[in-house]
Chains A and B, each alone.
Chain A
């Protein structure tokens, strides 16, 4: 993919077998998003069910949780928009993704040798990105409705009800994505977690999981055989 914007590993790093996968800016933003999302998750779940209301105590109690939830939501929105700004071009669905998506079963079964090559992000990662991107837009709009519910006139009260339903539905959708994302990032795809902390992956990792991207970033760099 010639459109990949940010990542260029120094030849020296490539020669010692390390490739820069995420820049410091990308890593910082990722963890800012993680922090703000998890805050909204904990507080949101405490409002979701009486059996989870105790979660609010972890962050200072119900009123405190209620006060900060929308502000952290706004911060998360900013973070996701930053991600969009950073990754928009890398996240577009390509022909390679369509080929890969047809073979996704092999990915799930860890039969990676039977998968077509992928770019910087694979189809699943892109789906997660767009889920969170559109998810936060929906959560933001419905969340503002919940935040200023009294400002919605009584004659338009169906908007009050719609805001509740949509906010809950969108939140559940992002939670589904979040569960899979955390599982894959920490337990399933080894090397992924360190890459979003230190930014680097091994050349072997890049070749295995993102071959097209690997070829692109190492073009012209003789590898040390």
Chain B
């Protein structure tokens, strides 16, 4: 959304290096979502809409507290409510704030064919630049979290920006600012990781929640949004948070080896017919010999 004044580390569909390639800024930014203290108030959903200038639209009621089934192009932040049966048979409500995870290794960016439609800033934020987006939807196939959404009217893709416009001005994201329980935190990746591990340890040691842990999936080299979960061994229970997310191997192959194989095959084809022409030349039917069928 915002060009901001941030250095760029990765650029989608770009035939060459990015200006900030391989640059690690000292501080990667990170959101920490502590699902154990979330009360499902949805203040973050409202704050997100408000800051980003969207209004509520019609939604679907499906016998749950959840505002709508999935995030949409103009609803980037959604608390997912999941009834969960504990081992002792009692029921609990698992609530997880769902949004773009801002992967360190973003699959959307890898899949994107449009130069500069998706960028990753050196602070780790993955951001869509709608003026460069062509609306092809490849990012949908690349994302391991099913986040990018298509606006059929403008034919552009949208998702959470991690409030890059606020962050680049030294403010925290809107969702963080609105959280009444303090289950949302914002800071450097290092600090958030520390805080999350401390909280998980506290849950394990002081509350007897043995499987409490931090969700920061290694398959995408870690994310810019990390979770404290009651049961880190079963993230799927939290509205389908994938256990081991990674950029789909088809996307990797398509954007890697397939590109080389395809390009060489196409060049080989052109080279092949050129060589054929130089070696054997055209088939000409001699008009003078037309009477006997052009045969020698």
How would residues 265 to 296 of chain B score, 1 for a CB under 8 Å from any chain A CB and 0 otherwise?
11001100100110011111111011101111
Please tell me if the beta carbons of B13 and A161 are within 8 angstroms of each other in the complex.
Answer: no
Taking the closest CB of chain B, its distance from the CB of A118, in whole angstroms, is 13
In chain A, positions 150-204 with a C-beta closer than 8 Å to chain B are 150, 154, 157, 160-165, 168, 172, 175-176, 179-180, 183, 187-191, 202-204
Please tell me if the beta carbons of A62 and B281 are within 8 angstroms of each other in the complex.
Answer: no
**Cα distance A164–B296 in the bound complex, in angstroms:** 51
Taking CB atoms, residues of chain B closer than 8 Å to A48 are: 113, 259, 262
How would residues 227 to 263 of chain B score, 1 for a CB under 8 Å from any chain A CB and 0 otherwise?
0000000000000100000001011011000110011
Taking the closest CB of chain B, its distance from the CB of A42, in whole angstroms, is 13
**Cα distance A187–B278 in the bound complex, in angstroms:** 11
Taking the closest CB of chain B, its distance from the CB of A25, in whole angstroms, is 26
Closest to B280 in A: A110
A49 within 8 A of B: yes
Taking CB atoms, residues of chain A closer than 8 Å to B283 are: 110, 112, 188-190, 209
Closest to A179 in B: B269
Contact of A50 among B14, B240, B286, B296 (CB under 8 A): B14
Please tell me if the beta carbons of A161 and B250 are within 8 angstroms of each other in the complex.
Answer: yes
Taking CB atoms, residues of chain B closer than 8 Å to A205 are: 285, 294
Closest to B115 in A: A53
**Cα distance A146–B250 in the bound complex, in angstroms:** 14
Please tell me if the beta carbons of A204 and B293 are within 8 angstroms of each other in the complex.
Answer: yes
Tally of B interface residues using CB under 8 Å:
51
Please tell me if the beta carbons of B262 and A53 are within 8 angstroms of each other in the complex.
Answer: no
Please tell me if the beta carbons of B269 and A189 are within 8 angstroms of each other in the complex.
Answer: no
Taking CB atoms, residues of chain B closer than 8 Å to A85 are: none
* Chain A residues touching B, range: 35 or more
A47 within 8 A of B: yes
Contact of B141 among A50, A160, A172, A180 (CB under 8 A): A160
A225 within 8 A of B: yes
**Cα distance A150–B73 in the bound complex, in angstroms:** 11
Contact of A179 among B240, B253, B273 (CB under 8 A): B273
**Cα distance A17–B287 in the bound complex, in angstroms:** 10
**Cα distance A46–B287 in the bound complex, in angstroms:** 43
In chain A, positions 56-70 with a C-beta closer than 8 Å to chain B are 56, 62-63, 65-67
B114 within 8 A of A: yes
Q: Hey, which bits of chain B sit against chain A, CB under 8 A?
A: 13-15, 113-115, 132-138, 140-141, 146, 149-150, 155, 240, 248, 250-251, 253-254, 258-259, 262-263, 265-266, 269-270, 273, 276-277, 280-287, 289-291, 293-296
